[in-house]
Structure 1
Amino acid sequence: MASSSSSSSDIGVILNELTCPVCFELYKEPVGLPCGHSFCRLCLEKSWENREADAGYVCPNCREVFPQKPKLMKNMIIANLIENVKLKKGKFGLEVRDTEHGDVNVKEGMKSGGSECYCELCNGEAAKSCVPCEIICCAKHLKPHQQRGHKLVDPGVKIEDLRCIEHGKPIQPYCKDDGSLMCVTCTGGQHRDHDVVALEIAHAELKDVLAAKYPHVSQSMESVASQLRHVQEEEAQAENSSRNAEDSLEEKRRLVCQLVNESVDLMKSEINKRKMEKLSLLGKQREKLEQQMEDLRQGKSTMDAAFQDLEAISFLHVWFIINGSKDLLKRLETMSDFKSMKRTPLPVLDFSKEEKNLDELITLNKNFLEKIQKGPVEHPEKVELDQNNLRRLYGRSPSLDPNSAHREIKISGDLRTATRTRPGIQYPEHPDRFDVCPQVVSRDCFSSGRHYWEVDVRSSSSWEIGICLNSMGRKGAESGLGGNPESWCLEKYNNEFSAWHNKQRTDLSVPGDHERFGFFLDCEAGELTCFGDSRVLHVFRGNFMDPVKPAIWVWDDDDSVHFVHLVK
């Protein structure tokens, strides 16, 4: 039984050797190439027909190129072996396929970079590319390359990129010293004494390095995401605040317009009322004068008629007429005694008082607009450096960031007090945590506007207080406040005060024992003003448009420094 199984296995090996590597069938008219590889004549010729004319004649197996078409001679040994196998095919119960070839459609695979890849030996879908043989194969034609242990890559990979530029051989080792890929020949040249490992080992080591750095990158992403959320929240607050302010101003404009309209309408109504009263009085005077004018006109007409009659008669006749016309004389006497009526002039319409009130309202609005054009009403360009005003206008209450605290800095529950403690606290690892300097920064990050905060130092004899760029390093001694270009601070040490920036010290005269120190940050002006007991102690100047954070260093054990809660 075992012998039969062994014989079957041997026959299987023989059949594999008698199989054309192109069609995977028993050779049909086997022919050999100078390189030693054999193929069916039809398979080989079809393979060459599908290649470009200037590509030469290539062995489908080893990819050796023959400039001239080789003379194809029938391999009689292989042909005789195949005939013998066919005669004995039933001896071990084996089924040997012997189908006719017919037309073999050998399609050249597309080079890397194309939209599709095909097996270079058949029309099947490409599975892998063999680097040593530089051939694209389907899963069926890939087996011989797998059995020989050839390096296989995805069909889309450029095989020429996987060869040594200098020697043209497949890339296998990796030089750690130079960080470069190379072939076996390179190891005997300039890389002779270098640390060279297999490409697979370098790949595994790189994965380990990336896996070790992944948590750090994830934590950094969380930190940046947190800061991004704060910025987005501030943006949303700014949008809401601006929208609410605009709505309030629109309401005030509506009220002001309504007030102006009502005032103007009221004044117009009063003007019209006074006009009607004066016109009524003037109309009565006009009617009375017109009646008097009519009476005088009639009297004059009567007198003219009487004069004409007197001219036509004698004096005696006139006398009789006069005595007989007493009514006429009396009437003429009355007319001769007519006097002009006394007319009291009405006062001129005067609205100067109302116009003055309206002018005052217009002037008030003009002054208000001029103030707005010069600068925000609540945020003048030049701020009087009075701490009471600074608290009211720009007061802030920073909170400490536990993720930045050194292991010897304990943070209070309200996130406002930093206390030096030893042997220390086992904080979790974090990229923002100081590892050498006993410091902590705030969660608050400023990059625009004006901000004022105060620090209570009654419980600390030595400290450093100031600001640092959010980008300042957190590792090593160089991360200490004032000891680098990214930080600015006041320092109290051995009862001496000084200002520090980029390792440059400025001695300060600070009389008395102050309990609080104030800090006013004007980002646009690029100034950090430090106060002590309502006095300006020092002014730092720098680029504070980059995000900065308030920061604290506590020197002595059990000492505490506290951010004061400022209520506007």
Structure 2
Amino acid sequence: MASAILRDELICSICLSVFKDPVMLRCGHNYCRVCIDRVLDTQDGSGVFSCPECRKKYRQRPSLMRNINLHNVAERFQFTQPEQAEITGICCTYCVDSAVPAVKSCLHCEASLCDKHLRAHSKSPEHVLSEPSTSLEKRKCSVHKKILEYYCTEDAACICVSCYMIGEHNGHKMESLDEVSKKRKEKLKNVLQKLMTKREETEERVRSVEEHRRKAKKKSAGEAKRVTALFTDIRRRLDHLEKRVLSEISRQEKEESLSLSALIQQLEIKKDELSMKMRHIEELCNMADPLTVLQEPDTGDLCDPEEGGGDEDTGGRDRQPHGVDDLDVTVISDTFRTLCDIISAIRIYGEGPADISLDVNTADNNLLISDDLKTATRTEEEQNRPETAERFQDYSQVMSSRRFSSGRHYWDVKSSRLGWWSVGMCYPSIDRRGDQSLIGNNNKSWCVRRSNNKYSMIHDRKEIRLPGYISSDRFRICLDYEAGRLSFYELCYPIRHLHTFTATFTEPLHAAFCVYWVKSGESYVESWIRLKT
């Protein structure tokens, strides 16, 4: 008895055998080193490790501490009881001197038999043999104490022959246990097959989720890298702006200081001259001889030049020093505009440019659409597309196939430096023919337009001319649908904000293009617009 209790304490809960090279986790539970290593290897992919018994979690793979005392006890136990260590089944009932594994159990005798005692066992029919079992009583009828041989299909119960002949199951339909067991096994096999299919589906979902997690992690790393690069560039540009502004302020301060120093020197000289004149006049005023006073030049010549009607060198007035408000703040204003552009660059930063393609079904017949659905070019050759309600019939226009009804998005275009074109967004309900169909000429579209080498922002025929020179051929259109903002930027360095339309959008929005041409001499200049990816 004591030996069995000791053996239970020396069993590894993973392999169910006596410990081999036992190791201990920090929670105090012991396992075979090979067994716990295999368990931890399977947990390695999840990123969290846990004890198989108490489920204590570890953020990192736990270190394994060898349990020397337990190792010595397990080794001594196996050495002293080698036969017991080999026993894995039920022992023979009649082998009382030592534990010998049983090979069969007799339902009639309610005993388990080893090979030796099985050979001497009775071969009569009532002695039914079965696989070794410790619960032989359960295989007999609790009423008649006979072996359970049949199955009552009406009551779903295992019965003996007496139950069927004279007992409560008399007259019921019955089958042999083997037949019912076979049918039950077939059902179980079907259930097993379904379970295996579900497990495979679950494993596939696990792989899919793991792949999704991997992609999400990769995407997060990429976004973090992009954000880091963005703010590194912003800091560099801010440092450059700060140095430029401070340098300009310092230059103006030095220039003004030199100018004021020269003016102070001139004023000091003038002050000395005035002091000399004042002393001479005081001497004349103190003379007693009237003849001497009258023989001196007229006192008007001794007065201050301003009082005498002007000074030839100063034009009748002294130069006045500049005040603090005279500081040239143009460079500071330019800096603030650049800062606004930098802030705009931060605002339009998102997950990436929207994937937009041109919808050939809306393209005018004088527009050539590239195979990748990214470029629209004005052409003189008719494309012979069928006339439909959604196709533009005038002004060589086309819409995108993708529509935007929520969220924040941006997309970039590259344009021809010559010709006539418009780029913007419109509602799908925009007219498809006539003057009202031109983007910008209605209240259902917003655009930037290039015409006669000039650029304008247009909505509902209201035109806002863009000041300054447009140096780039690349533009960015940014949409914040919920905020009702549609912004246009010139992709120069630094990025330049052109204009922002504000509206309460009532329909989904499509990207819209109008590509026309202009006559130059005897030939036409073709225009084109390309979506940048």
Fold similarity call, TM over 0.5: no
> Which is greater in Rg?
1
Normalised by the length of structure 2, the TM-score is 0.36
